[in-house]
Structure 1
């Protein structure tokens, strides 16, 4: 999961501008309360007005392309993602994801929040928690930060996108429930009563992989758990996770994790 680092609320007076910096090392989320903020990242420029949220990359050049022409109040949050992340081009939101079989957090680069007053309150509470050094405050600010991400994750979806998400999640649920069995695209199509190409397009849009790739990644993850939690043979683990042949399982596992199953088990159990 992405994790919170620091946050605050800042006021710029007319003539002030956003700092010029490169490779900050953390994601920078900006939310405008009042006024107008002119921010650029590399060759992209945005003029942010009240209710706008923008997320800047940790590995790029950020700067102001124009000073503020009025008093501007905005919240900023620095956060980081321990797992892999990617920024997609065009209208699709970027993705903060762990392994492929898990839920992918999809947040837009820029969006207008539907509930700006609620967001202002969450940001205020987040800043207050960030000032405290108590143990409870640590969990408080992490939870409030994740609430923000949840708002953005749910807010980007148009009615058309919701249909794709629903279908992708239905397909994923079926694959997870039946991963020990052989599941073809035709079988999945019959179960969901939808065309194979449409299911594939929905899963690719939501999870970044096809149904068969999703099934493979999920099976491999279950194999990881069994390698760590049991003393079963590699052959039994392969069978329990839906692989018909042990050598085939071992090759796929090594390609996915960078090490064969036995080495994986020794690494995480000794």
Structure 2
């Protein structure tokens, strides 16, 4: 069951790199016993077998395996290494929301029209371990450098690693769902000022609307029409703050054909009518 766990981070803010290094254990040596470390501990085995536990879950990590240990649990070795074991470790943290769920369980954190849900497997076997080895080596070198430029180098390489993990675990079917959802979102953003029906969306994408809706719900947590509404309202917020246009023009510019309808939806979404929203953020 532990192998099916997913860690989800809603971004922004992005998780950030703290420190990393490569370690070698001789036969008889073992992973340290720690609790409430305060940072996520990502382990990647290059050689040998690493025997690691988190509370009551145990893993025997072999070459190519990645494991992410939580910052709020007890980590320890349930047995010493039986051969020379080489592994990379990396500590990272996030100031944003995160959760751990079973793979098939619907979590509470989802992406929407302006955020992204980074999903990382608790444990996975990398398809391209050599690429990971290179990234880790570069991270270790950058971690030794204290210059301003090294900070950006570390974070960029760390985000490359997260992207590889986020994309690598998905099945072909899951990757297809993400692709359909992203294509749908791109079309809705590009054409939000126009009337967009489900049948039009189906014709444009050449897919059944039920499949499109399922993909959007899985990836963004909403239907295509809900996504379109949220995006239109978000654009309306920007126009209320940035322009002195009247409400009727803003409604028209953001795809709403009737001003009263726009005002009702805006108030329901934000808790206040458009003019009050504008006054709250402008003088």
TM-score of the superposed pair, with normalisation by structure 1? 0.82
Distance between the aligned counterparts of 1:105 and 1:120, measured in 2? Answer: 21
Distance between the aligned counterparts of 1:96 and 1:130, measured in 2? Answer: 31
Residue 45 of structure 1: aligned partner: 58
- Cα deviation 1:2-22 (Å, max 9, x = unaligned): 221222222233241243312
- CA 1:69/1:230 → structure 2, altered by over 3 Å: closer, same or farther? farther
Q: Which moved more, 1:110-119 or 1:217-226?
A: 217-226
Q: Kindly name which structure, 1 or 2, has the bigger radius of gyration based on alpha carbons.
A: 2
Residue 171 of structure 2: aligned partner: 158
- Cα deviation 1:52-105 (Å, max 9, x = unaligned): 112223344433333333332221222223443343422589898665444443
Residue 264 of structure 2: aligned partner: 248
Distance between the aligned counterparts of 2:276 and 2:20, measured in 1? Answer: 42
CA contact under 8 A between 2:50 and 2:85: conserved in structure 1? yes
Which of residues 33, 36, 46 is equivalent to 1:19?
33
- Cα deviation 1:89-126 (Å, max 9, x = unaligned): 22589898665444443332221112212211210110
2:215 pairs with 1:202: yes
Which of residues 42, 47, 57 is equivalent to 1:34?
47
2:186 pairs with 1:173: yes
- How far is the alpha carbon of 1:269 from its aligned partner? 6.1
Equivalence map 1:94-173=2 (5 Å): 99-173=112-186
2:86 pairs with 1:70: no
Distance between the aligned counterparts of 1:111 and 1:105, measured in 2? Answer: 15
Residue 189 of structure 1: aligned partner: 202
Distance between the aligned counterparts of 2:67 and 2:123, measured in 1? Answer: 4
* Equivalences, count: 266
CA contact under 8 A between 2:43 and 2:66: conserved in structure 1? yes
- How far is the alpha carbon of 1:265 from its aligned partner? 5.4
Distance between the aligned counterparts of 1:200 and 1:234, measured in 2? Answer: 31
- Structure 1 unmatched runs, 5+: none
- How far is the alpha carbon of 1:128 from its aligned partner? 1.2
Residue 212 of structure 1: aligned partner: 225
TM-score of the superposed pair, with normalisation by structure 2? 0.79
- Structure 2 unmatched runs, 5+: 1-13
SS of 1:174's partner is helix
| Structure with higher RCO (Cα < 8 A, 6+ apart) | 2
Residue 4 of structure 2: aligned partner: none
Distance between the aligned counterparts of 1:268 and 1:11, measured in 2? Answer: 56
